[in-house]
Amino acid sequence: MRLKIIAGNLGVVVLLGLVAYFTVTSQLRTQLSNELEADIDNQRVLFDRSFRLSALEFLDLVRDRAATRQLRDIFGGLDLDSRRTRAFEAAEATHAWFGDPARGGRGAPDIVAVVDDTGKIIARDGARNVMFGKALGGSLPALAQALKTGDPAHDVWLEDEQKKVLQTAIAPIRSETGTILGALVVGYDLSNGLASSEAKVLKRDIAFVIDGNVYSSSLDGSRSKDLKEFLFGGAKATTQSVLGGQMAASQAWRVTLGGDEYTGVTSRLPLAPSLPVGFTVLGDRTVRMQLASTANVILIMLVLGALLVIGYGFAIGTSIMRPIEEIEEGILAVINGKTDLRLETDSAELGGLAFRINQLLNVFTGTEEASEDAEGKTSVPPAASHWKDAEFADAPGAGAAAPAAGGAAAAAPAEEVIDDPALAAKLGAESEAAYNDRVYREYAAAKQALGENVSNIPQDRFAQRLKGRADALVQKHGCRMVRFQVHTQNNQVVLRPVLIR
């Protein structure tokens, strides 16, 4: 029973604890996931605007540099060699000028080239003869547009020589009269460094994507490779739609990179009309979901609660089972012959049960009911004065009273004690068994003769009480033995004690 109590309570605590844990964890994960996806989309918009702003600032710097006298003087050279020399020197100076921290801290560009009005390179920085005469109109359509309209342009250039994807600003070089003489082309690589610097600002990972490849990213090598397999594998159709301009941005997607789960979104890079370039903003979903581990406190409380239930269950179970076991042992003792035993318990819950069992035992053994104790919970075993028949009490003044319940006769007064040596000798010579059997038969016959029921007075109980009363009189009168004679007087059966000295 104790284990059933514990198991029931423990089952309820564990069940409710697990339901609470999984419910709270599920809600937390859902909320955190929704927050991450919303934040990723916000960061995408933020990066788009940030890139546009930096592109416009970059374009302004290139336009300002293209308007300098040094760039215009390139085309004042008398011959091609002179113009190439001036163009190289201007490209080198421009490279250093952009490298000045005052220009915004982006550092020196990856390429600075001066082209003529046909779009062919006159010179570039770093190497005087590299790329000389190369026409850029085909690989950099924005250049042809800038030479045609005279407006500066921003584009992304896939530069064949170094195999770099360059964020490029183009500004026409004009004569003092406004004639377009050529253009200044400045490009910065969309490198891992750029992606990492942008990632630090956004606190999200950034990757630049071109058709079929992740060009650069703030991710490590293995994660970048996993991202490429995802974007141009399972999500290929979506990625190509974004790069092709059919979609401004994808829906949030999930991918496992290097064993960690990420949430990301893909969008087309702004101000890059010539080359399909996109970017992705990624958030570490695994790290984000770790916030849901705060729900583990429920599991901790569940374990503590389970331990408390077990401890409390053992305590309560023991407090219930111990008195039940005592009651069981007491009943077993009564069954085995200890009929004067009455149950006692300190348990307030089981005291009433013990009292009713004692009442039942009194009925079966023919014992007069004792008054209840202070709490009304206990029926005590019979004392000398509790025997149903008043003949067993010889206190002075007992006198002839009204018959007790169950046909009890009035007690014989103390002066009716018989002190007859001859009668005492006769009774003393009788064996104990024969004496008990005879007195019980005479007593029962006398009762029945008066029409009383003796079925509630068992012989063994009668003999036990007879002996107990005799022992009390022996001590009182200082004799060797006391035996009783059955008498009928005034329609009552009395037992008169005979002193045997």
- Give CA–CA dist 188/168, Å, rounded: 6
**For the ranges 87-91, 118-122, 385-389, which has the lowest average pLDDT?**
385-389
pLDDT at 307 over 60: yes
Give the model's pLDDT for residue 357.
85
Say if 330 falls within a structural domain.
Answer: no
pLDDT at 399 over 60: no
- Together in a domain, 297 and 191: yes
Give the model's pLDDT for residue 374.
45
- Together in a domain, 67 and 203: yes
pLDDT band at residue 370 using 50, 70 and 90 as cut-offs:
low
Give the model's pLDDT for residue 243.
94
Give the model's pLDDT for residue 206.
96
What is the pLDDT of the chain when averaged over all its residues? 85
Give the model's pLDDT for residue 393.
41
- Together in a domain, 50 and 82: yes
Highest mean pLDDT among 18-27, 253-262, 356-365, 413-422 belongs to: 253-262
* Strand partners of residue 123: 114
Give the model's pLDDT for residue 27.
87
Task: Please tell me which residue, 471 or 295, carries the higher pLDDT value.
Answer: 471
Contact between 217 and 208 under an 8 Å Cβ cutoff? The reply is yes
- Together in a domain, 58 and 156: yes
Task: Please tell me which residue, 143 or 413, carries the higher pLDDT value.
Answer: 143
Q: What domain count does the chain have?
A: 3
Q: What is the CATH number of the domain that holds 43?
A: 3.30.450.20
Say if 244 falls within a structural domain.
Answer: yes
Say if 329 falls within a structural domain.
Answer: no
3-state secondary structure (DSSP) of residue 34 = helix
Give the model's pLDDT for residue 325.
83
- Together in a domain, 350 and 245: no
Give the model's pLDDT for residue 5.
72
- Together in a domain, 154 and 131: yes
Burial class of residue 191 in the structure, from the number of CB atoms within 10 Å of its CB (0-12 exposed, 13-18 middle, 19+ buried) = middle
Give the model's pLDDT for residue 397.
36
- Together in a domain, 214 and 242: yes
pLDDT band at residue 398 using 50, 70 and 90 as cut-offs:
very low
Give the model's pLDDT for residue 81.
92
Say if 332 falls within a structural domain.
Answer: no
Is the pTM higher than 0.95? The answer reads no
Say if 430 falls within a structural domain.
Answer: yes
Say if 331 falls within a structural domain.
Answer: no
The H or E element that residue 201 is part of is: helix 192-202
Kindly state the tokens that stand for 311: 């401890």
Say if 168 falls within a structural domain.
Answer: yes
- Together in a domain, 226 and 114: yes
Give the model's pLDDT for residue 369.
55
- Together in a domain, 69 and 198: yes
Contact between 189 and 165 under an 8 Å Cβ cutoff? The reply is yes
Give the model's pLDDT for residue 178.
92
Nearest to 352 by CA among 333, 373, 368, 328: 373
- Give CA–CA dist 283/337, Å, rounded: 83
Residue environment code for 267-301, b if the CB has 16+ CB neighbours within 10 A, otherwise e: bbbbbbebbbbbbbbbbbbeebbeebeebeebeee
For residue range 400-410, list pLDDT tens digits in order: 333 333 333 33
Give the model's pLDDT for residue 451.
84
Say if 45 falls within a structural domain.
Answer: yes
- Together in a domain, 378 and 431: no
3-state secondary structure (DSSP) of residue 374 = coil
- Together in a domain, 225 and 280: yes
Give the model's pLDDT for residue 366.
61
Highest mean pLDDT among 52-66, 333-347, 351-365 belongs to: 52-66
Give the model's pLDDT for residue 409.
38
Give the model's pLDDT for residue 378.
45
Question: Percent of the chain at pLDDT above 90?
Answer: 48
Which range marks the domain in which residue 371 is found? 339-382
For residue range 5-14, list pLDDT tens digits in order: 778 888 888 8
Give the model's pLDDT for residue 255.
95
